[in-house]
A and B are shown apart, each in its own frame.
Chain A
Amino acid sequence: MSVLAGTGQLLKLGLRRSRIMLAVWVYALAAYAASTGYGFTKLYDSQESLHDFVSGINGNGATVALYGRILVPGSVGGVTAWRLGAIGGVLVAVMSILLVIRHTRGDEEAGRLELVGAGVVGRRAPLTAGLLVGVVANLALALVTMIVLIACGLPAVGSLAVGLAWAIPGLCFTAVAGVTAQLAETAQAARGIALAVVGVAYLLRAAGDAARVSWLPWLSPIGWSQQVRAYGAERWWVVGLGVVVAVALTGAAYALVERRDLGAGLLPVRPGPAEAAPSLRSPLALAWRLQRGALLAWLSGFAVYGAAIGGVLKGIGDLVKGSSSTRDLLSRMGGQRSLEDSYVGTVMGVLGLIAAVYAVQVVLRLRTEETAQRLEPLLATRVRRVRWSIGHLLFAAAGPVVLLGAAGVAAGVAHGLRVHDLGTQVPRLLGAALVQAPAAWVTAAVALLLFGVVPRLAPAAWGVLGAFLLLGQLGPVLKLSQAVMDLSPFTHVPKLPGADLTVTPIAALTAVAVAVAAVGLAGFRRRDIG
């Protein structure tokens, strides 16, 4: 039997199982490329405004660290490719890792691979099929990205180069995930190790760009992505470099597959405590144990993002000084405020939405615990339903405050240090971040309502959050009526900093969240479990 027997069947199965996840990723990333391309072609329609923008970016250490240096300064395409390169490269890497781990170690851990492995399946087939799911995703994404950028009016060759530039980290991290899936015994650990490699790759690029050490970004597939220099003199050989590294890593993964048993990893699994800590004695303590890892990861993300916002804030005014169209656009989006306030308001609004993602995810954990049948044994003890759910719901309530607070403080400290005014900046940016929390609560409360009353439809909470996002993003562009815009809780958040802090909308949003959550809990008390 060939070591690859059955790969085709497994690939088909994998693509079928992940068709929605795959489509959502490709759609979201292509939409990101399209909105960036479209936005830049509209914003920088003159050479003069483009020149001001490029020198503003390349002269600012913080933005260079965050996004990299603009390597093709003379065209709108070059600026688009720059903007998509660093952050987009990270997102493509994350997509590849999640897909590959899901179909390799994820299936193996769940025992599905054992079922499949008993059939006519070669030793390397499951890994190969998992890697091919990643390859298919990356090629599809490269193609769609090229098409949408051409549709934005950018040159075809450069657009192809952007698509392929994304495929570099995509393919490399597809293979990295193939390796970590062999090392770790659990999908969670395999994902964690691979994502840590992404973090290192991003930091190598950031450090190299910021410190002007030109060889450092060459150690990172995310750095290579930018070195393709799309819309300039494209260096196609860099794409080849990415493919060579991906193939070499795939070879390493194959070598590891041969050296281990089904279900086993190469890294040792450490045993845990034989007895529970004395504190593990309540539903809240259990919720803390189950939620703390995710909360800490989110917290560090919010803190880093906040610090990055604070770091670039001082340069915002300089950046758009020369471009009157940018100023018009920003003020149209955010009202008559200073550009800096407007920028802070916009990014904090985005953070508010991300905090809502966290809160919704926490609430949906209730449903996961229920359908995974981990809830039944708990409810067979003295624990009552509401008390159990409150353990998790405290995270949905306090989580957004903690996350937004961390981002606000980090932004305030970073900006305050640069303008030598910590005393004003920390409370100013912290306030702008914290006012977003009630809107996140309302979203989480809607998720709780679905969970309590129509549990099968609980995942529709993501659709509700998506609708809020679309209202916020497209509402002003489509000039929707205020009544429609008001459906989103994020519309009601005071536009801090700059605007007056009004208590009414905050109190109203909080009251709505509490009322909706109470209905959800009442429904959960009365319904069948399971």
Chain B
Amino acid sequence: MTDAISVSGLVKTFGRTRALDGLDLTVRSGEVHGFLGPNGAGKSTTIRILLGLLRADAGTARLLGGDPWRDVTTLHRRLAYVPGDVVLWPNLTGGEVIDLLGRLRGGHDPGRKAELLERFELDPKKKGRAYSKGNRQKVALVAAFASDVELLILDEPTSGLDPLMEEVFQRCVEEERERGRTVLLSSHILSEVEALCDRVSIIRKGRTVETGTLSELRHLTRTSITAELASPPDGLMSLPGVHDPDVQGTRVKLEVDTDKLDEVLKHLTQAGVRSLTSTPPTLEELFLRHYEDEAPAGMPR
């Protein structure tokens, strides 16, 4: 199976700003791929290059086996896009916009549209200017999910949705995966990415800093452990992979590199374990680890 999206060494500059600085991204066919990064990291710029709206300065981008800049018509028939900031025409109703976008893409399923309108609780009779941000996003989401395409490109699609609608959205993405479709999901919402995505790419300042499945990425991080021991531990500090140990008598709190977990646990059981809590790293910690070194640059310590 070919990759749905393969991008390598992508560079895009706007004046003096280097928005993309050698970005790599591979999305396999049939997977839900999380595209993570702080504001201004280059997520939307990458997506706009993939949609043929921007032309890359260097690097290669392949989309569904074609060139995103040259093969616009053939590629766009096979994909649907939800922008982060959905702006509607003030005098067209939501229903009209959904139908229009579907027809311009090459047809959509009216039955599926009706079902989605109900699930997202969207009133299609309102004029574009009357919708709130969340409802404008629902219009674009219904238009995208109702279309029969191979690839969905979603750019922060849920920033205006309430938790109930967020759940509807997640179920829709699950269904798309079951139907064998590929989804590129750019997001800030880590719980959403954790719940939905098979693989994740984390980008920062226009470069990819991490990519892989969630368990692969977790492997690179630390697990936090809290234990109540029978006797005070001994030599724990000197074990490789142990960080921030906090030993108070028989109570131990520490962080451990996930690949050194086995040795540390053996050491703890020697001292006799009364109780043990182990917390796997969250995506959030993973995410923060990549960005926290940005913050101190300008901050007083």
Contacts and interface: CB of A to CB of B under 8 A. Distances in A.
B59 to A, nearest CB: 16
B118 to A, nearest CB: 12
Given A276-B96, A529-B54, A377 B125 contact: no
A424 interface: no
Contacts of A272: 92-93, 95-96, 125-127
B48 A529 contact: yes
B130 A275 contact: no
A287 to B, nearest CB: 11
B43 to A, nearest CB: 14
Interface residues of A, number: 36
Interface string B75-114: 0110111010111111111011111110111100000000
Contacts of A280: 96, 99-100, 103
Contacts of A109: 129
A377 B81 contact: yes
A283 B103 CA distance: 11
A365 to B, nearest CB: 11
Interface stretch (A155-163, A332-340, A354-362, A380-388): A380-388
A281 B48 CA distance: 24
Nearest to B55: A528
A213 interface: no
B125 A281 contact: no
Contacts of A23: none
B87 A372 contact: yes
Contacts of B103: 276, 280-281
A281 B100 CA distance: 6
B196 to A, nearest CB: 21
A186 interface: yes
Contacts of A378: 101, 104
A320 interface: no
Given A377-B101, A380-B76, A384-B73, A269 B127 contact: yes
Given A382-B76, A384-B72, A273 B87 contact: no
A381 B53 contact: no
B95 A275 contact: yes
B73 A382 contact: yes
A186 B93 contact: no
A292 B51 CA distance: 30
A526 B69 CA distance: 10
> Could you say which of A374, A376, A381 has the most chain B C-beta atoms within 10 Å of its C-beta?
A381
A46 to B, nearest CB: 56
Nearest to B96: A276
A381 B76 contact: yes
A286 B101 CA distance: 11
A373 interface: yes
Contacts of A186: 90, 129
Given A372-B87, A382-B105, A529-B48, A271 B54 contact: no
28 contacts: A109-B129, A188-B91, A269-B127, A271-B127, A272-B126, A273-B93, A274-B93, A276-B98, A276-B100, A277-B96, A280-B103, A281-B100, A282-B104, A289-B89, A293-B91, A373-B83, A373-B85, A374-B88, A376-B83, A380-B79, A381-B101, A381-B106, A382-B76, A382-B104, A382-B105, A383-B76, A528-B54, A529-B53
Interface of A: 109, 185-186, 188, 269, 271-277, 280-283, 286, 289-290, 293, 372-374, 376-384, 526, 528-530
Given A382-B77, A528-B53, 7 more contacts: A274-B95, A374-B89, A377-B81, A378-B101, A378-B104, A384-B73, A528-B55
In the complex, the 9 A-B pairs of residues with the closest C-beta atoms, listed nearest first? A276-B99, A271-B125, A380-B81, A272-B93, A381-B104, A274-B95, A276-B96, A529-B53, A281-B103
